[in-house]
């Protein structure tokens, strides 16, 4: 990048794929992975640059290569003056738009000499408790993993269907004082829904996330839910909220689903108006993915932004974590 490009009036867009090794393996009901593959977009203008990071998710039909191509295809629209409002109309929700939306917001904040939350008129995020994820495994392996982090205030337990009652009981025995939330990642069925919910309730679980497959979750409206149930794969942006009111008590807002912080903030406001509790979630990624989501934490009952803690290393100027506390980003990272 030359100095003339950096100081020119027209925005310059570059994008790249990054690979970040995971400490051990991250296992959910759909499989395991040993690295986080992210796509980073950087937009430069007038001597300032803003970055955004996204995680393409195969569950939603996304690939790393297609996401990178979708971002790079926006060079001409940005050169023509495309702004965040125009971006929402031009691109669908998803990972590619998330990286661009967050990069634009960071650039706007730097150009204005303000923090992103002040620029947007939102409350400044404060240090808050984030969940820490326990991967799916045998009851014994999950109990051992839980015991090593039992001092944390909030644990998110990955479950996977058969045997989940034994898994959650073993986890609770290993961490008797922790608040527990559960993520089944669509692995339960209408037949085992009620027994598994009962097992979670008996273990003192506070919230169960996406127990049934998206589009096949009608049974949630037909039972008495003993604990709160949160939509994840069933909810993406504001358009998907209204149809979930009889099935879910909470919604998990992830920037890679909403297509960026712009839609995520509007979705959080709409979800609160409909009476949903809010969970702020993430994919496994670096602090650059977590930082914009911190603006949603003042509205959230549950914060799950532990992605960098699952990596071998985070990027420079990463978020500050102290045990279960996560702190707002410094301007050197984002916003």
Any idea which residue has 């926006």 for tokens? 74
Please give the DSSP secondary-structure letter assigned to residue 309. Answer: G
> What is the per-residue pLDDT across 180-213, written as a single tens digit (0 to 9) for each?
999 999 999 999 999 999 999 999 999 999 999 9
Residue where a domain stops, chosen among 120, 146, 161: 120
The structure tokens listed for 19 are 């690979």
Is 80 exceeded by the pLDDT of residue 2?
Answer: no
Sheet holding 325-326, edge to edge: 128-129, 325-326, 321-322
33 carries an active-site annotation = no
Percentage of the chain exceeding pLDDT 90: 90
In the block, tokens 């979705």 appear at: 267
Provide the pLDDT confidence category of residue 26 given band limits of 50, 70 and 90. Answer: confident
197 φ, ψ (degrees, to nearest 5): -65, -40
Residues 171 and 296 in one domain: yes
Q: Which of 120, 140, 160 is a domain's end point? A: 120
Say whether pTM exceeds 0.75. Answer: yes
- Mean pLDDT, the chain, whole residue set: 94
How far apart CA 49 and CA 51 sit, in angstroms, is: 7
Q: Which CATH number characterizes residue 71's domain?
A: 3.30.390.10
Check residue 6 and give its pLDDT: 35
- pLDDT of 5 > 50? The answer is no
Tokens of residue 187, six digits: 């692995």
Quote the CA–CA distance of 154 and 180 in Å, as a whole number. Answer: 6
* H or E stretch covering 303: strand 302-303
Query: 110, 156, 254, 257: which one is catalytic?
Result: 254
Tell me what pLDDT residue 305 has. Answer: 97
Cβ–Cβ under 8 Å, residues 50 and 78: no
Q: Which residue among the candidates 110, 156, 158, 257 is catalytic per the annotation?
A: 158
Nearest to 125 by CA among 278, 294, 323: 294
Identify whether residues 276 and 145 lie together within a single domain: yes
What is the enclosing helix (H) or strand (E) of 70?
helix 64-72
254 noted as active-site residue: yes
| 304-314 per-position pLDDT tens digit | 999 999 999 99
Find where tokens 């008590």 sit: 249
* Three-state secondary-structure class, residue 275: coil
Per DSSP (E only), the strands in the chain are 12-28, 31-45, 48-54, 128-129, 132-134, 154-158, 179-183, 207-209, 228-231, 250-253, 277-280, 302-303, 321-322, 325-326
**Same domain (yes/no): 98, 158:** no
Q: Give the model confidence (pLDDT) of 62-82 as tens digits.
A: 999 999 999 999 999 998 889
| pLDDT for residue 3 | 29
- Token pair 């009111």 in the structure block, residue: 245
Do 290 and 186 belong together in one domain? yes
Tell me, yes or no, whether 114 and 179 share the same domain: no
């Amino acid at each position: 990048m030359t100095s003339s490009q950096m100081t020119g009036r027209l925005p310059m867009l570059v994008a790249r794929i990054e690979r970040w090794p995971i400490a051990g393996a991250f296992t959910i009901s759909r499989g395991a992975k040993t690295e986080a593959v992210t796509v980073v977009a950087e937009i430069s203008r007038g001597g300032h640059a803003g970055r955004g990071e996204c995680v393409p998710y195969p569950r939603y039909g996304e690939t790393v290569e297609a996401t990178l191509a979708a971002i790079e295809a926006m060079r001409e629209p940005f050169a023509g003056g495309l702004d965040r409002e125009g971006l929402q109309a031009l691109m669908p929700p998803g990972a590619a738009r998330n990286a661009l939306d967050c990069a634009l917001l960071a650039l706007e904040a730097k150009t204005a000499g303000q923090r992103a939350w002040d620029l947007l008129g939102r409350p400044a995020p404060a240090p808050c408790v984030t969940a820490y994820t326990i991967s799916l495994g045998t009851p014994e392996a999950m109990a051992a993993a839980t015991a090593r982090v039992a001092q944390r205030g909030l644990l998110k337990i990955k479950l996977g269907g058969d045997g989940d009652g034994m898994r959650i009981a073993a986890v609770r025995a290993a961490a008797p004082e922790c608040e527990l939330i559960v993520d089944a990642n669509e692995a339960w069925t209408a037949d085992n829904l009620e027994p598994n919910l009962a097992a979670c309730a008996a273990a003192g679980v506070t919230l169960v996330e996406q127990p049934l497959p998206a589009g096949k979750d009608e049974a949630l409206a037909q039972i008495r839910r003993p604990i709160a149930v949160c939509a994840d794969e069933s909810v993406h942006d504001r358009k998907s909220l209204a149809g979930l009111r009889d099935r879910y008590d909470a919604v998990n807002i992830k920037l890679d689903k909403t297509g960026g912080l712009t839609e995520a903030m509007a979705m959080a406001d709409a979800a609160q108006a409909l009476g949903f509790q809010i969970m702020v979630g993430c994919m496994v990624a670096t602090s650059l993915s977590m930082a914009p989501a911190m603006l949603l934490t003042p509205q959230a009952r549950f914060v799950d932004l532990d992605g960098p803690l699952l990596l071998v290393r985070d990027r420079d100027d990463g978020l500050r974590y102290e045990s279960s506390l996560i702190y707002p980003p410094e301007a050197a990272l984002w916003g």
